[in-house]
Structure 1
Amino acid sequence: MQSQCPRLVVDDILPFPSKGQTGKDGWYPPGHGDVFPSSVNGGKLDALLSKFHTRTLSAVVDLKILNHLIQHKNEYCMEVIPKTLADVKGGTLVSYEGRVQACNSC
């Protein structure tokens, strides 16, 4: 289950639920940023950790890569791997007008 956050009233920045708006219109889902807290709070992380080897679910930051990003002032870094025959829908990286983009229709 994803969390919910209260919508705010523009006039006074108070949450809708405090003004009696307790229906679904008074709340919004926080989006992708909520995946980690929801996984912990909903017990899904514990279920995954018990099913899979923890190394599968945990990654560490390679300090060499982090230092490279800082020294070169990179705004973005992504690990990519070659597509396989099973990868048939979207996510193909393309160079378009001098920028790398994901082509979801490729």
Structure 2
Amino acid sequence: MKKNYKCFALFSGGLDSMLSVLWMDKLGYEVIPIFFRTPFFEPTNALKAAKEIGFELFVHDITDQIDFLISGEVVGQRPMSQRKDALNSVAKLSSVKDLIVRPLSQKL
């Protein structure tokens, strides 16, 4: 007798997360798409994508549970996106500049 496994799927609403959920569901697993709401990300696109593939999205707001966010971004590692000016623009536009810590990029 096959055990019914249950899993959370980190769900952004992008094609990769949509396909992962559908594939695991097709294999017979109980899949629960989850989205972590923060000051940086709203679930609008993820909610639409989950509905599109027939799943209810579990949205967990962790805004009040964190003091700051760390990122593994490294200045210059990806020359098209991980440039100092681009990373600073993202921080500034998010309105939470002082909450982003990039330990691999020193003081950035």
Superposition TM-score, scaled by structure 1 size: 0.24
The structure having more radius of gyration, on CA atoms, is: 1
More strand by share: 2
Higher RCO, Cα 8 Å, sep 6+: 2
